[in-house]
Chain A
Amino acid sequence: MSFAAHLINGISLGSVYALIALGYTMVYGIAKMLNFAHGDVIMIGGYVVFVTVSGMGLNPLASIIISMAVCTILGVTIERVAYRPLRGASPLAVLITAIGVSYLLQNIALLVFGSDTKAFTNVVTLPNLELFDGQLVIKSVTIVTVIVNIIIMVGLTLFVKKTKIGRAMTAVSEDQGAAQLMGINVNGTIAVTFAIGSSLAAIAGVLLCSAYPALTPYTGSMPGIKAFVAAVFGGIGSIPGAFIGGILLGVIENLSKAYISSQLSDAIVFSILIIVLLVKPTGLLGRKIQEKV
């Protein structure tokens, strides 16, 4: 029974990682850049909901929509101001700029909201699912997170495959130069990618803070890194890979905490990541890139 409980708790943690990883993988897949600031956009999304729900007393659903709007604007602005000038420069330069943006967002939040922890109000008000006379509890927020994950995963896949702008994204991800020659607005397409990625971050922020209700300016950074690992684990750029990678990471983390060592769980998680990458160098569902001579 306790194994089942650990497993469920692992899925609960993993579903949050998966949600963040979806945003990471989306941006990476199209724009080919590691957006290290993604975790901090999540944090901003959390604060927007906190302020609108706890401060202004808005309906949670309305506040989530506001949060998505704020994060979308934020994401597009960051892309325009910090990343677009570096289009065509070394990917490393963009990576470092993303780190700079991450510091910037953290410190803005520190100045605006202060360093003290805010207890987040769970926006998922459904009752928890209790099995075997309450011996096994599945939190409602976990169920909602998994469902949201699946909706987003299917939605994103359909969007990329079926819509015109989605196909433009695929083209940009394959070859920016060629896409431009075919009349695709590369900058516009990447901006849309960031808009979608950031609105996903808002949703992830709400669900992360609902599941683990402590909001600080640094809330996003560690889950962000873990989700990045999850995205690589599943094969970065692959949408279903991000979901599977996230869930697996959460489960492995919790089981190693429970049965091996709670101090060394990070070391164990990272070791498994390394082993997986050595066996499958592009992650679980990653595409093998053909090498050209």
Chain B
Amino acid sequence: MKTKAGRISKTTKNDLITYAMVILAYIVMQLLVSTGHVSSLIQGLLVPFCTYAIVAIALNLTVGILGELSLGHAGFMCVGAFSSAVFSLAFKGAMPSGLRFFIALLIGAVTAALVGFLVGIPVLRLRGDYLAIVTLAFGEIIKNIINALYLGVDANGIHFTMKDALSLNMEEDGVVLIKGAQGVTGTPNDSNFTVGVILVLVTLFIVLNFIRSRTGRAVMSIRDNRIAAESVGINVTKYKLIAFTISASLAGVAGVLYAHNLSSLTALPKNFGYNMSILILVFVVLGGIGNIRGSIIAAVLLTLLPEVLRVLSDYRMLIYAIVLIAMMIFNWSPNAIFFRKRVKQRLTAGRKSGKEA
């Protein structure tokens, strides 16, 4: 009993440290901003930090807890971003911005969850690399469709087409909400650092509680041994779908935050293509698979890195690539892990002998 109680308090303590870290970072940043010690660049990056932290936590739920590789999370982010941006643009000026953003958040989260659920039904039947490639395919399909989508409203209602803006046949006074490749222009700027941090905390709360819940334990048992889990009566498909849908929904929340931070929203290969999905995966892998706190730190670090490297001008992305490879080898190579262990052992041994003396 005693050991069990000790272990529980340890995980709880671990979770509390994560919350505390986010809150502390928020307070420190707010203090620095209010005293004018933060450059415009960092101030501008605060919301993206939150966006990528949320989506990294979301993906970690799929990769670390569910144990399946998804290369399509940018697609869910894209769905959340576009659905919420369309809503906010349509109701710009029609309701107070706080309420509007709240509804936009719900819309983004629900739409992404719905798409995640629909994608999850076929996808989760597959395994390993095949699952990864199918999620990648779904992400690309979502991006491709949104790039060909035209949506507008006028007095006659909603018009929509997959061809071009002319085929919308709008009245003179109509507003084009999604304009194909140009996407959504003029989304109100409702995201800010405080909202971002609150959303990070909510995401953390959802994910950490999910992991510690009965459902979460069922999901992890599927990850560790699917056959054993099945044999004790766990409904594999159901639990996988639950985890995947939550993950997609949270990615959608990140998308909402992203969309409301910029006035121009486009679905380019750069921001919602497979490259972005892979970048999110980099956050997760670098921060430690299954390590939620690590995901947040890695997301912040890797979002900051290319900006800090701007001083290198032409060599920026080159150095970024080298740093990425070096970090991966340092964090994951069996030799490097062994080396770090030895260094640590020597340090702790030194401290012990120091104490004794």
Residues of A at under 8 Å CB distance from B? 34, 82, 85-90, 92-93, 95-97, 99-101, 103-104, 106-108, 110-111, 225, 228-229, 232, 236, 261, 263-264, 266-267, 270-271, 273-274, 277-278, 281-283, 291, 293
Contact = CB atoms under 8 A, between A and B. Distances in A.
Given A225-B274, A293-B227, A107 B317 contact: yes
A281 B140 contact: no
Contacts of A228: 133
Given A270-B140, A281-B125, A104 B314 contact: no
B106 interface: no
A278 B227 CA distance: 21
Q: For chain A, what secondary structure do more than half of its interface residues adopt (helix, strand, loop), or is it mixed? A: helix
B286 interface: yes
A111 B336 CA distance: 31
A270 B72 CA distance: 13
A229 B328 contact: no
Contact of A104 (B127, B144, B325): B325
Contact of B289 (A90, A101, A107): A90
Nearest to B226: A291
21 contacts: A85-B333, A86-B333, A87-B334, A89-B332, A90-B289, A93-B332, A97-B325, A100-B322, A103-B317, A103-B320, A107-B317, A108-B318, A111-B314, A228-B133, A232-B129, A232-B133, A236-B129, A264-B144, A270-B137, A270-B144, A281-B125
Contact of A96 (B137, B147, B328): B328
B162 A97 contact: no
A178 B248 CA distance: 40
B148 A101 contact: no
B129 A93 contact: no
B137 A101 contact: no
Given A99-B278, A263-B162, A281-B130, A107 B318 contact: yes
B281 interface: yes
A278 B328 contact: no
A83 B197 CA distance: 37
Interface string B198-239: 000000000000000000000000000001000000000000
Contacts of B335: 85
B281 A101 contact: no
A263 B150 CA distance: 13
A93 B148 CA distance: 35
B137 A229 contact: yes
B126 A281 contact: yes
Contacts of A232: 129-130, 133
A103 B324 contact: yes
**Interface of B (DSSP majority class):** helix
Given A93-B328, A291-B227, 8 more contacts: A34-B129, A96-B328, A100-B321, A103-B321, A261-B148, A263-B148, A273-B137, A281-B126
Given A92-B281, A264-B162, A277 B130 contact: yes
Contacts of A103: 317, 320-321, 324
The 8 closest A-B pairs by CB, nearest first: A270-B137, A93-B332, A103-B321, A104-B321, A100-B324, A100-B325, A85-B333, A267-B144
B29 interface: no
Contacts of A273: 133-134, 137
Interface string B133-153: 110011011001101100000
B286 A96 contact: yes
B138 A274 contact: yes
B301 interface: no
A282 to B, nearest CB: 7
Contact of A278 (B122, B162, B314): B122
B334 A264 contact: no
Contact of B137 (A87, A100, A111, A274): A274
Given A108-B318, A267-B145, A261 B333 contact: no
Contacts of A96: 278, 281-282, 285-286, 324, 328
Interface in B326-352: 328-329, 331-336
Contacts of B334: 86-89
B51 to A, nearest CB: 20
A264 B145 contact: yes
B63 interface: yes
Contacts of B134: 273-274, 277
Contacts of A95: 281
Contacts of A88: 334
B77 to A, nearest CB: 18
A251 to B, nearest CB: 18
